[in-house]
């Protein structure tokens, strides 16, 4: 099964596509405009809430664009909390970003850690779904 993982954000949106233990493709959409509507349109075209309250609404907006895109193509969407992703990928819900990135590299047998970190996070999210549903 092919799984598409997304780490939503309006300044960068990480994405990753996996099949079993292999990364098929991954990258990051980085809208250039400073206008929020234009950034969201860029994300829409090219296709967890943080403690900081200023990021909640923009992340929710980016997530909404991803959900809209999936709904238009009848693609099911499953969400995982950062704690679940960290626990699944590293074995510890308290893992930091570096630990998650290293495990993504190891588990997908990549030569390098995917950059920026949003990309590694998207791959980790896709892998969490694969492991949870036992597709791997």
Q: pLDDT value at position 118? A: 96
pTM: 0.84
Binding-site residues for Mg(2+): 7, 118
pLDDT per position as a tens digit, 60-91: 888 899 999 999 999 999 999 999 999 999 99
Q: pLDDT value at position 96? A: 96
| 94-126 exposure pattern, b = at least 16 Cβ within 10 A, e = fewer | ebeeeebbebbbebbeeeebbeebbbbbbbbbb
If DSSP states are collapsed to H, E and C, what string results for the chain?
CEEEEEECCCCCEEEEEEECCEEEEEEEECCCCCCHHHHHHHHHHCCCCCCCHHHHHHHHHHHHHHHHHHHHCCCCCCCCCHHHHHHHHHCCCCCCHHHHHHHHHHHCCCCCCCCCHHHHHHHHHHHHHHHHCCCC
Domains and CATH numbers, the chain: 2-132 (3.30.420.10)
Q: pLDDT value at position 54? A: 59
Q: pLDDT value at position 51? A: 42
Catalytic, 96? Answer: no
Q: pLDDT value at position 44? A: 72
Q: What is the mean pLDDT of residues 85-100?
A: 97
- pLDDT-derived band at 111 (thresholds 50, 70, 90) equals very high
Higher-confidence residue of 51 and 22: namely 22
Q: Which of 96, 117, 118, 121 is catalytic?
A: 118
Catalytic, 117? Answer: no
Q: Which of 7, 96, 117, 121 is catalytic?
A: 7
**Dist. CA 130–CA 38, nearest whole Å:** 33
């Amino acid at each position: 099964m092919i799984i598409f993982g997304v780490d939503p954000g309006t300044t960068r949106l990480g994405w990753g596509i996996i099949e079993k233990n292999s990364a098929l493709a991954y990258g990051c959409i980085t809208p250039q405009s400073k206008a929020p509507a234009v950034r969201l349109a860029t994300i829409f075209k090219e296709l967890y809430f943080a403690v900081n309250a200023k990021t909640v609404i923009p992340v929710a907006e980016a997530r909404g664009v991803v959900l809209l895109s999936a709904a238009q193509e009848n693609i099911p969407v499953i969400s995982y909390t950062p704690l679940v992703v960290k626990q699944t990928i590293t074995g510890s819900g308290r893992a930091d970003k570096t630990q998650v990135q290293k495990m993504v590299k190891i588990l997908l047998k990549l030569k390098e850690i995917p950059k920026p970190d949003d990309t590694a996070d998207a791959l980790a999210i896709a892998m969490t779904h694969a492991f949870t549903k036992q597709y791997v």
